[in-house]
């Protein structure tokens, strides 16, 4: 049986192990040991992602990521009625440790009740938060699953992610000419002024229902009294619509070229990369059918929710795995106000149990 006390204990143990992106060694050791004790064959790929498998063909993948965002060190979880929250100085780490907890509690429960489960592959990734890096480096030659349930959505487990956008990141490095600002400003070419012109010409915010554009970082100049030589800009845009994405991309390149032509003595270097690719889940997805019937059997009503972000599910789907992202009882992700709803987390564990019980 899914056990509330054991579930809370597992969750609190997990969040007490620091695991900011890139520092997943301790959590991956802990999880590997837990999964071994539950009778799974556990390996790590070359990148440090954990893959735990049971015997049998045609497994179902259960996936979550091991890393958390900052401030996420020395997390002190506390139970407050039906919620688990942090002490207010850090995030809680429910993203994605609530997902890990749901998987572990279901396996603990089946193990205790001596109930067999279908073949499964538990895939726990590193560095999801910094751009799905673990999933992108996952050794897929070790993966057999054709279907995957990814625990990385906000809200209750009945909240299924229906679609996710393509995400394009860009860096622009502007180099002008430095000069003493008081003595010989004529000799300078301000990278800050050029950046300002460029920024003014670029879109910003929500462009349409399914498209957003953001400049998130700017740094440049060196001192108050010198003409600024360099500026770096970082931005991103995302859309569900590939035609819109193309046209925003062309607008970005066109704008950079316009500014480049206006300042032939300056150097503008741009780097544009696609971090993850869009998907839409349709009724043909057999993973979706599995999840929906599991939810209904638990008396939970499935809802489909569009997401503006990406998860490891984007990577899996691009590689032909029918991956579906569900909620994991977490609210206010990436904030100090983050909390996990205990009844929702029980539901998530129940869903895992229902999906895999033999």
DSSP state of 187: G
The whole-angstrom separation of Cα 357 and Cα 336 is 36
From the list 44-52, 95-103, 137-145, 315-323, the region that binds Zn ion by CB under 5 A is 95-103
SS3 state of residue 21: coil
Q: How far is the CB of 258 from Zn ion (least distance, A)?
A: 38
Residue 154 in the binding site for Zn ion (CB under 5 A):
no
From the list 66-74, 89-97, 200-208, 250-258, the region that binds Zn ion by CB under 5 A is 89-97
Q: For the residues of 198-214, what is the DSSP string, one character each? A: HHHHS--EEEETTEEEE
Cis peptide before 71 (omega within 30 of 0): yes
Question: Phi and psi dihedrals of 270, rounded to 5?
Answer: -120, 150
Q: How far is the CB of 199 from Zn ion (least distance, A)?
A: 30
Q: How far is the CB of 255 from Zn ion (least distance, A)?
A: 33
Sign (positive/negative) of CA torsion 261, 262, 267, 269? negative
From the list 24-32, 147-155, 184-192, 236-244, the region that binds Zn ion by CB under 5 A is 147-155
Q: Which of 35, 62, 96, 194 binds Zn ion (CB under 5 A)?
A: 96
Judged by CB under 5 A, the chain residues 292 through 311 that form the site for Zn ion are none
- Please work out the total of residues on this chain that contact Zn ion, with binding judged by CB under 5 A: 3
Q: Which of 152, 229, 330, 344 binds Zn ion (CB under 5 A)?
A: 152
DSSP state of 175: E
CA 268 vs. chain centroid, Å, equals: 31
Q: How far is the CB of 186 from Zn ion (least distance, A)?
A: 52
SS3 state of residue 324: strand
Which strands, in side-by-side order, build the sheet including 267-276? 205-208, 211-220, 230-239, 166-175, 267-276
Tokens for 115? 């109930």
Cβ proximity to Zn ion: between 135 and 248 the closer is 135
> Considering only CA atoms, which of 18, 82, 94, 26 is closest in space to residue 336?
94
Q: How far is the CB of 27 from Zn ion (least distance, A)?
A: 14
Cβ proximity to Zn ion: between 176 and 327 the closer is 327
Cβ proximity to Zn ion: between 85 and 152 the closer is 152
Q: How many residues does the chain have?
A: 358
C-alpha distances in Å from residue 167, one per residue of 171, 173, 253, 274, 309: 14, 20, 16, 6, 8
The whole-angstrom separation of Cα 77 and Cα 357 is 30
From the list 5-13, 150-158, 202-210, 252-260, the region that binds Zn ion by CB under 5 A is 150-158
Cβ proximity to Zn ion: between 95 and 322 the closer is 95
The whole-angstrom separation of Cα 207 and Cα 168 is 15
Question: Phi and psi dihedrals of 75, rounded to 5?
Answer: -70, 130
Q: How far is the CB of 72 from Zn ion (least distance, A)?
A: 12
Cβ proximity to Zn ion: between 152 and 347 the closer is 152
Q: Which of 95, 229, 322, 338 binds Zn ion (CB under 5 A)?
A: 95
x/- track of binding to Zn ion for residues 48-87 (CB under 5 A)? ----------------------------------------
From the list 13-21, 86-94, 96-104, 244-252, the region that binds Zn ion by CB under 5 A is 96-104
Cβ proximity to Zn ion: between 93 and 176 the closer is 93
The whole-angstrom separation of Cα 104 and Cα 166 is 31
Question: Cα torsion at 19, 356, 38, 22 (round to 10°)?
Answer: -20
Give the active site residues: 67, 128
Q: How far is the CB of 314 from Zn ion (least distance, A)?
A: 12
Cβ proximity to Zn ion: between 156 and 176 the closer is 156
Which residues of the chain form contacts with Zn ion (CB under 5 A)?
Answer: 95-96, 152
């Amino acid at each position: 049986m899914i056990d509330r006390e054991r579930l809370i204990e597992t969750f609190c143990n997990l969040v007490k192990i620091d695991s900011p992106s890139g520092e997943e060694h301790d959590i991956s050791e802990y999880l590997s040991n837990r999964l071994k004790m539950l009778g799974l064959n556990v390996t790590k790929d070359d990148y440090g992602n954990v893959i735990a498998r049971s015997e049998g063909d045609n497994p179902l993948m259960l996936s979550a990521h091991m890393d958390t965002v900052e401030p996420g060190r020395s997390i002190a979880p506390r139970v407050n009625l039906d919620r688990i929250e942090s002490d207010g100085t850090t995030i809680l780490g429910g993203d994605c440790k609530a997902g890990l907890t749901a998987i572990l509690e279901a396996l603990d429960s089946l193990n205790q009740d001596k109930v067999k489960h279908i073949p499964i592959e538990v895939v726990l990734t590193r560095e999801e938060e910094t751009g799905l890096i673990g999933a992108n480096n996952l050794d897929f030659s070790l993966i057999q699953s054709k279907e995957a349930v990814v625990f990385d959505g906000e809200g209750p487990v009945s909240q299924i992610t229906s679609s996710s956008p393509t995400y394009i990141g860009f860096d622009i490095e502007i180099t002008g000419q430095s000069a003493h600002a008081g003595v010989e400003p004529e000799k300078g070419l301000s990278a800050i002024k050029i950046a300002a012109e460029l920024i003014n010409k670029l879109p910003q915010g929500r462009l349409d229902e399914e498209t957003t554009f953001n400049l998130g970082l700017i740094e440049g100049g060196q001192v108050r009294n010198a003409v600024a030589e360099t500026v770096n800009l970082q931005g991103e845009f995302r859309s569900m619509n590939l035609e819109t994405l193309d046209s925003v991309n062309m607008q970005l390149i066109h704008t950079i070229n316009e500014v480049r032509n206006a300042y032939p003595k300056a150097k503008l270097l741009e780097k544009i990369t696609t971090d993850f690719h869009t998907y839409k889940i349709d009724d043909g997805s057999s993973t979706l059918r599995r999840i929906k019937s599991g939810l209904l059997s638990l008396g939970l009503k499935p809802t489909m929710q569009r997401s503006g972000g990406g998860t490891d599910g984007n990577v899996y789907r691009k590689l032909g795995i029918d991956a579906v992202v569900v909620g994991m009882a977490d609210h206010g992700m990436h904030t100090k106000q983050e909390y996990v709803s205990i009844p929702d987390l029980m539901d998530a564990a129940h869903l895992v149990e229902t999906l895999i019980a033999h």
